[in-house]
Structure 1
Amino acid sequence: MSLNIDFLDETEQLDQTQIQNLERLLNYAADQEGVESESEVSVTFVTNERIHEINKQYRDKDQPTDVISFALEEMGEGEIEVSGSGMPRVLGDIIVSLAKAEEQAKEYGHSFDRELGFLVVHGFLHLLGYDHMVEEEEKIMFERQRVILDEFGLQR
């Protein structure tokens, strides 16, 4: 099983080993969630300033955040679903603030790599339709995150 993952590090802070570990983690998460092979996802690493702009523009929140996901399978009002045989499943985009990841790793007392893995899995689960707007959904999503990260070896 293998996802097609497009990584873009706008900050140029991550090394190749970190990117490879995140690729392995996302493929593990996709396998655990039964995502079709060759499904596509993009992951972009940005500064706090850039994620602040994105958060303000698309979510109307005037502050930086740690991760934002844009699920391409969510249908908006008036949109028409486009599908066809042989076309890969396009899940969407995950955007992560590396500065927030560093800050939160220190705050929570675990490694930067664990926090980065958490944020990428969190964003990935959002692309698959998980949410945490209500308590019941939050319990389900956060348990899936914990299990995936623990089994992958990124425990707190």
Structure 2
Amino acid sequence: MAVLVSNLQEEITVDEQLIKIVEDVVTESIKSEGYSSEAEVSLIFVDDDYIQSLNAEYRGLDKPTDVLSFALNEGEEMPEEEEAEDLLGDIVISLPTARRQAEEYAHSFQREVAYLTAHGSLHLLGYDHQTDEDRQVMREKEEGILGRLGITR
């Protein structure tokens, strides 16, 4: 399992502990859904301005958000090359938003980033939260992933 972590922001320090957490969360998310150990995900830490520009460009919402996922294998046309199925996509997380949300929800910054990573990973795997039922399924999976890793509130 390859989790490629990039940090494109300077506001919040990204240490080895945070990188290990997101790597573990992505690995657990993918493993729990039965994907190949050859799967690859890119995770990018950004600031609010960067994620706002992505949100405006790809979702038509000109405001910052916490996490965006860009699945490589979504849509009707699946890649013909077998190894392309192992490239799942990109998760983009705004660390300043994660920090604010951690304070708002009264849990640690690491827990918030782990939750956003699980959420983004599940989007890469085809999960969504457009309906109440889908939202409930996704929330249970997110909490299951974090629980198995011992990441609690």
TM-score by length of 2: 0.93
Q: Where do residues 1-156 of structure 1 align in structure 2 (5 Å cutoff)?
A: 3-12=1-10, 13-75=13-75, 80-85=77-82, 89-156=86-153
CA contact (8 A) 1:40 1:88 kept: no
CA contact (8 A) 1:5 1:40 kept: yes
Q: Give the root-mean-square deviation of aligned CA atoms.
A: 1.4
The answer for unaligned runs of 5 or more in structure 1 is none
Equivalent AA in structure 2 for residue 136 of structure 1: E
Identity %: 40
Moved more, 106-115 or 24-33: 24-33
Distance change in 2, residues 1:153/1:106 (3 Å): same
TM-score by length of 1: 0.91
CA contact (8 A) 2:73 2:85 kept: no
| Structure 1 position 71, deviation (Å) | 0.9
The answer for unaligned runs of 5 or more in structure 2 is none
